């Protein structure tokens, strides 16, 4: 067992933050020998219960749950900041040519290392990530994650049409590869597999049908895709699948909406789409830096909450512009402001932080496992330095309550705030 003394942030079931100014986090093995949070609370109350347990004292620091990135592309690490008129030219001119390089396993392994280092440096301990259509890109990322003990969910992209040579796959082979990768990686230690149709326009009906069959055969495997991101993309999807009620319904029609299905963007929805998200248990990965960069639009927070479907925050690197959860939370705040019709704050700092930790974990069906520091959770956490920059030190010293402290970190914070990332 080991314990950490610092300020501690965690979340209650009602999504509200719980904060200990002088807290103790006790980490030790669960019944299966896995390191988990054994106890958490006020230092004065808890410390006497753990005599003899080594305590690492971190004065002035804040311990918080490791961040959960609900949607990211590992092969787009070097695509960040590629300007384009919109999604489709961005894919064609930058993303597909770059992803074709991942046919080379050595290149994939090199980028996997950089990618995981970046996640950890920014305090992200769990991610749901796209690989490329090349199975070797999955092997490279999974092996590198396993070596670090990270909880990571990833999948080989399915794209058997409307995709250039170098990234286009073949229907039967792509499904056989997916099933082989599920067998090789899903449930290995902390790794999970996600069936990954890129988006409906890049997948034939046969490929979507096969993906749906695999999703039914392996109910605890995740599903990830993109939907309703960009107006031209939506028009194209509707032309290709005229029989479906909406773009989102295409996925439902092929058996790809259920718990553990995560759809990136979900911007241009109507209430029937929102109701479909809710009734199927699928979740949205809200990716504000990407949506702002590519000019895709603004996620409708009020609509999502009115109907009540699950969502969490995501970087969507490399459409997204930053690995930093602080940048993503700030962008989400701006987006919430844009769509706001009700008075008051659009999104509270506690709500933003929840969406990138416990809320994102809930969207993955991993609530109580990651994204929080309640007893029983896996002990992945960050040690934050609220004085990491001169301005932050001034601002956080003047914070009169928890919301002001969290807002200062969200608005002024980045990787400099993340002093240490601990993987259990």
54: which strand partners? 2
43 versus 251: smaller Cβ distance to ligand GUN: 251
CB of 317 to ligand GUN, least distance (A): 10
Q: By Cβ distance, which residue is nearest to ligand GUN?
A: 319
* Interface residue with Zn ion, options 158, 264, 347, 363 (CB under 5 A): 264
Position 69 contacts Zn ion (CB under 5 A): no
Cβ atoms of residues 286 and 299 within 8 Å: yes
Question: Segment contacting Zn ion (CB under 5 A): 104-112, 213-221, 244-252, 311-319?
Answer: 311-319
CB of 223 to ligand GUN, least distance (A): 15
CB of 20 to ligand GUN, least distance (A): 38
Position 361 contacts Zn ion (CB under 5 A): no
159 versus 355: smaller Cβ distance to ligand GUN: 159
Position 233 contacts Zn ion (CB under 5 A): no
**Backbone region of residue 60 per phi and psi (left: phi > 0; alpha: psi in -120 to 50; beta: other values):** left
Rounded CA gap, 215 and 260, in Å?
10
Give the strand pairing for 2-11 and 54-65.
parallel
CB of 411 to ligand GUN, least distance (A): 25
CB of 264 to Zn ion, least distance (A): 5
Give the strand pairing for 261-265 and 35-42.
unpaired
196 versus 421: smaller Cβ distance to ligand GUN: 196
Binding partner of 198, given Zn ion, ligand GUN, none, CB within 5-8 angstroms per partner class? ligand GUN
Binding partner of 174, given ligand GUN, Zn ion, none, CB within 5-8 angstroms per partner class? none
CA-only gyration radius of the chain, Å: 21
Position 316 contacts Zn ion (CB under 5 A): yes
315 versus 348: smaller Cβ distance to ligand GUN: 315
Binding partner of 95, given Zn ion, ligand GUN, none, CB within 5-8 angstroms per partner class? ligand GUN
Neighbouring residues of 383: CB distance < 8 A, sequence distance ≥ 6? 4, 6, 58, 61, 62, 63, 418, 419, 420, 421, 422
23 versus 320: smaller Cβ distance to ligand GUN: 320
CB of 65 to Zn ion, least distance (A): 23
286 versus 377: smaller Cβ distance to Zn ion: 286
Q: Using the 8-state DSSP alphabet, how is residue 316 labeled?
A: -
Angle between helical axes of 390-397 and 402-412 (0-180°, round to 10): 160
Rounded CA gap, 343 and 124, in Å?
32
95 versus 322: smaller Cβ distance to ligand GUN: 95
130 versus 301: smaller Cβ distance to Zn ion: 130
Closest CA to 360 of 229, 252, 227, 222: 222
H helix count then E strand count, the chain: 17, 15
Position 412 contacts Zn ion (CB under 5 A): no
Rounded CA gap, 45 and 23, in Å?
9
DSSP of 148-204, one letter per residue? HT-EEEEEPEE--SS--TTT---HHHHHHHHHHHHHHHTTSTTEEEEEEE--GGGS-
Binding site for ligand GUN (CB under 6 A): 73, 87, 91, 95, 198-199, 226, 229, 290, 316, 319
CB of 413 to ligand GUN, least distance (A): 24
Closest CA to 384 of 6, 2, 3, 70: 6
List contacts with Zn ion (CB under 5 A). 264, 316
């Amino acid at each position: 067992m080991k314990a950490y003394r610092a300020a501690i942030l965690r979340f209650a079931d009602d999504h509200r933050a719980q904060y200990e100014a002088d807290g103790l986090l006790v980490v030790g093995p669960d019944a299966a020998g896995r390191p988990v949070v054994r106890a958490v609370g006020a230092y004065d109350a808890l410390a006497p219960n753990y005599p003899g347990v080594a305590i690492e004292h971190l004065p002035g620091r804040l311990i918080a749950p490791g961040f959960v990135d609900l949607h990211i592309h590992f092969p787009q690490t070097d695509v960040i900041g590629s300007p384009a008129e919109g999604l489709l030219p961005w894919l064609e001119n930058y993303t597909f040519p770059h992803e074709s390089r991942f046919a080379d396993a050595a290149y994939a392994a090199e980028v996997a290392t950089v990618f995981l280092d970046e996640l950890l440096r920014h305090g992200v301990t769990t991610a749901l990530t796209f690989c490329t259509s090349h199975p070797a890109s999955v092997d490279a990322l999974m092996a590198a994650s396993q070596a670090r003990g990270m909880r990571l969910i990833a999948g080989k992209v399915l794209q058997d049409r409307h995709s250039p040579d170098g990234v286009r796959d073949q229907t039967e082979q792509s499904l056989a590869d997916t099933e082989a990768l599920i067998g090789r990686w899903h449930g290995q230690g902390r790794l999970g597999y996600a069936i990954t149709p890129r988006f409906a326009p890049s997948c034939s009906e046969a490929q979507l049908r096969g993906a749906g069959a695999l999703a039914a055969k392996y109910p605890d495997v995740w599903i990830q895709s993109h939907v309703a991101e960009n107006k031209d993309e939506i028009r194209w999807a509707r032309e290709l699948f005229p029989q479906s009620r909406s773009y989102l319904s295409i996925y439902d029609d092929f058996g790809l909406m259920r718990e553990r299905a995560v759809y990136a963007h979900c911007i241009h929805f109507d209430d029937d789409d929102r109701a479909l998200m809710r009734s199927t248990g699928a979740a949205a990965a809200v990716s504000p830096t990407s949506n702002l960069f590519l000019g895709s639009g603004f996620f409708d927070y009020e609509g999502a909450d009115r109907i009540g479907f699950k969502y969490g925050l995501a970087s969507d690197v490399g459409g997204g512009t930053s690995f930093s959860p602080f940048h993503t939370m700030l962008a989400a705040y701006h987006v919430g402001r844009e769509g706001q019709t009700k008075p008051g704050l659009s999104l509270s700092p506690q709500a933003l932080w929840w969406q990138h930790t416990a809320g994102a974990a809930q969207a993955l069906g991993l609530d109580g496992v990651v994204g929080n520091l309640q007893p029983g959770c896996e002990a992945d956490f960050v040690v934050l330095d609220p004085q990491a920059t001169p301005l932050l030190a001034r601002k956080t010293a003047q914070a009169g309550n928890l919301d002001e402290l969290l807002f200062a970190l969200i608005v002024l914070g980045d990787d400099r705030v993340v002093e240490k990332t601990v993987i259990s």
